Structure 1
Amino acid sequence: MRSNILAVNVARGPTITLASGRIFDFLDPHGSDFTIDDVAHGMAHICRYAGQCRDFYSVAEHSLLVCDVAVDCPYEALLHDAAEAFIGDVTRPLKQLLPEYKAIETNVEDAIAKRFGLNRSCRDAVKTADLSVLAAEQAQVMAPGTDSWAREAGVVPAEVKIRYLSPAVARREFLERFEILRPR
């Protein structure tokens, strides 16, 4: 028996069905019906570094750490990688080979920023915190020497400890933090 299942529903276009059952449309992320639960679920189940780290380390846990470091913009820091809930954590070298990817990523990021009311003036502060956490986490989760770029670039590693949270715990902590920080 042959399967007639397609990876892309051609009647709808390039969409994915989220764990909640909602549909996310890559060509219309602004019109897609996604919630913070969808974001938290996706981020908690995606491993950083294309899975090439010592143990499972989720995008959600990474975002919690960046949130801890970016004291002036914790809400924006918590959601800085939210697009990855839908597009995955594509490694920087691979992104460079996919010129159209950046446009898709930017559009998804814009939809998330509008949906959750993110302050765009926080981008630089969040990027600085993200780099600091990146340097710290690479020293903890990657092969020795992976973090040498940070010393060369003068990036001071954040004082954070990777806990290797399970997806369930990372999701719960992410949602708890979101509830504390979200604008009312």
Structure 2
Amino acid sequence: MSQMPVAVKISVGPTITLASGHVFDFLDPHSSRFEIEDIAHGLAHVCRYAGQCRDFYSVAEHSILVSEVVEDYQFEALMHDAAEAFLGDVTRPLKQLLPDFKRIEADVEDAIFERFGLNRDFKEVIKDADLRVLAAEQAQVMAPGTADWAAEAGIVPAEIYVRYLTPREAKARFLERFRELSKNGTA
């Protein structure tokens, strides 16, 4: 009986090939080669809300909006969902059912923090901005009533406008924002 080929390399660990051609190892993300272009490409092609929004809305566009809402840690805000470039945007309810996923996600985030020199003290500032953007974007991209939780929780939606950027536009704008923040010394 012949064995069916698998599209996942397991010689080093479970891996994927990135848009750049580099290989990303989920069990050893620190040793994996990846560039900002890989992150921008992945985030630009991943749709928020498991694709259950009115139109395609990328994680890259979301990340740009969060980085524009915060005053401090703008670079970290831009990169706050960078792991999703490799892992996808797994919905919060599903993540709660996958404890191994949370560990893998934490390792991937750590490799990204290390690679790009992210300040690890950003979590609370960005969590607040992320929730405010979440409330505003849900009101714009999801079914009516989806964002009602925000008012009940006392969260003031951020003043943002979702543009529904195409993956090509989202990638270009993400890279532009990355370079802007790097140039200004925020990165």
TM-score interval (norm. to shorter): over 0.9
Instruction: Among all aligned residue pairs of Structure 1 and Structure 2, give the percentage whose two residues are the same amino acid.
Output: 67
1:144 aligns with 2:123: no
Amino acid at match of 2:94: L
Aligned to 1:12: 12
Q: Which residue is 2:49 aligned to?
A: 49
| 3-state SS of 1:97 partner | coil
The 10-residue stretch of structure 1 (35-44 or 174-183) with the greater mean CA deviation from structure 2 = 174-183
Deviation by residue 1:39-89 (Cα, 9 ceiling, x = unmatched):
000000000000000000000000000000012111000000000000000
Distance across 1 between alignment mates of 2:48 and 2:158: 17
Deviation digits for residues 118-146 of structure 1 (CA, Å, limit 9, x no counterpart): 11111111111000000000000000000
- Is 1:154 the equivalent of 2:161? no
In the other structure, the counterpart of 2:129 is 129
User: AA paired with 1:19?
Assistant: A
For 2:38 and 2:81, locate their aligned partners in 1 and report how far apart those are by CA, in whole Å: 13
1:20-39 counterparts in 2 under 5 A?
Answer: 20-39=20-39
Alignment check: 8 A CA contact 2:55 2:141 kept: yes
CA distance, structure 1, for counterparts of residue 119 and residue 13 of structure 2: 31
Counterpart of 1:106, as a letter, is A
The reply on whether 1:99 has 2:102 as its aligned counterpart is no
Instruction: Note closer, same or farther for the CA distance 1:153–1:162 as it changes in structure 2 (3 Å cut).
Output: same
Residue 134 of structure 1 aligns with an amino acid whose one-letter code is L
Q: CA deviation at 1:3?
A: 8.7
Q: Please list every run of 5 or more consecutive structure 2 residues that lacks an aligned counterpart in the other structure.
A: none
| SS of the residue 2:174 aligns to | helix
SS in 2 for 1:165: coil
State TM-score, norm by structure 2. Answer: 0.95
* Structure-1-length-normalised TM-score: 0.96
8 Å Cα contact 2:13/2:28 also seen in 1:
no
SS in 2 for 1:176: helix
Displacement after TM superposition at 1:90 (Å): 0.1
- For 1:137 and 1:171, locate their aligned partners in 2 and report how far apart those are by CA, in whole Å: 19
Tell me what 2:73 maps to: 73
Distance 1:3 1:60, change over 3 A: farther
2:40 alignment counterpart = 40
Partner-residue secondary structure (3-state), 1:43: helix
**Matching residue of 1:89:** 89
The alignment's C-alpha RMSD in Å is 1.3
